[in-house]
Amino acid sequence: MTTARPQSLPWPYEAKEGWLYCQGVRLADIARQWGTPCYVYSEAAILEAYATLARPDPEGRSARICFAVKANSNLAVLRILARAGAGFDIVSAGELRRVLAAGGHPERVVFSGVGKSIHELRYALEQGIGCINVESLAELDQLASVASSLKRIAPISIRVNPDIDAQTHPYISTGLKENKFGLGIQDALEGYKRALKNRHLRVVGVDCHIGSQITTLKPFQDATQRLLLFATDLHGLGIELEHIDLGGGLGICYHDEQPPSADELKNQGLQMVANWAQSTGCKEPQVVFEMGRSIVGAAGLLLSQVLLLKPSSDPEAKHFAVVDAAMNDLMRPSLYQAWHDLMLLHPSQPKAELRRWDVVGPVCETGDWLARDRSLGLFEGDLLAFASAGAYGSTMGSNYNSRPRPPEVLLRESGQVDLIRRRETFEDLIELEKIPRDLWD
């Protein structure tokens, strides 16, 4: 285990004399003040990642960046991005309510997702949402009906499934024909024809999203090319697109991945759309990206403490380091077999024996592991950090085994430390439950 800042940690994380710091704050002090497990986010890292995506390309063109709320829905994180000018990509009415509570503007929100309820469609239209990404013909008809009942016109984009392999984990691949998301080319074309005939629907864009944690440019290039060919067909129907949504899913470095830079991806998308507009004579539409992980993923850590060590005398058996974080706090390793870099928050003990440890949690499941086969020198009580936990960490958390979810702490650019979500209590867990009176008799 190294005390140097690993590749998976961005500035402003740094190691000083074996202690891990962020924005001048020693993270071991955070662990001692707020307890473990505990999520920590860097405001500076979030803003730097967003600014990279939002800045203009060499030709002065800018994309609209809609933050994927599912990646990290903490109100303070959403507020930081709203103040920076971000739009938002949501997949539920609850996420829309969070955006509004954080001061986000509904007209800068795109609503994705395959199973929007009638209630959610109604709520989105009532709030003045910017665009609804329609994912089925049935949804298109339902939306038209809801808009008619409200005497409103629904701004729509249809999500096209381009049948592109994103070369990522199958659970987070969304652009293949066997995936549940979006519509194939022919069905999407039928959807646009229907929309043109309905006075309660207004076509504003076309949308595509092929997956998450994508680490090469080629899937993006292929999907964009297919989407632009489809946009040419829409032009033939007389549709002038206000925006082309190229989706998101740009990966980050968890271990040894080398994803393309945000600048490279953004600039290439902008250039491809500009070239298409010039070649077809179409007005150049706004380019939209739905980015989540690439904005907040590397900015967050999960802090944890070693509860006990279980070395084995059997040379063929595993050595287990049991920590106080678990699969209910960080689901990605159990769900995706995901890697998170692991490091000590404090100087390593010189006499700690190096072993190959499986780092596991207290949850009563064999699948409750956070890191496997790591060469570590550990003592009971050591404080650890799981890197790149700012996306799909807290948002995928649960109360399995009646475990309260951990607090979330924001390290501000000013050096201030803010608790942005307190640790849950047992009373929080049972607040919505009630034992019928007759069961006490």
* pLDDT under 70: residue ranges of the chain: 1-6, 164-180
Quote the pLDDT of residue 167: 52
Question: What CATH number is given for 43-293 in this structure?
Answer: 3.20.20.10
Quote the pLDDT of residue 169: 41
Quote the pLDDT of residue 215: 85
Quote the pLDDT of residue 86: 98
Quote the pLDDT of residue 172: 40
- Which one of 38, 208, 253, 364 is the catalytic residue? 364
Quote the pLDDT of residue 173: 40
364 classed as catalytic: yes
Quote the pLDDT of residue 350: 76
Ranges of each domain in the chain:
13-34+299-430, 43-293
Superfamily for the 13-34+299-430 domain: Lyase, Ornithine Decarboxylase; Chain A, domain 1 (2.40.37.10)
Q: Which pLDDT tens digit goes with each residue over 261-291? A: 999 999 999 999 999 999 999 999 999 999 9
Instruction: Kindly give the interhelix angle for 262-280 and 43-54, rounded to the nearest 10 degrees.
Output: 20
Q: Which pLDDT tens digit goes with each residue over 321-375? A: 999 999 999 999 999 899 999 999 999 877 788 899 999 999 999 999 999 999 9
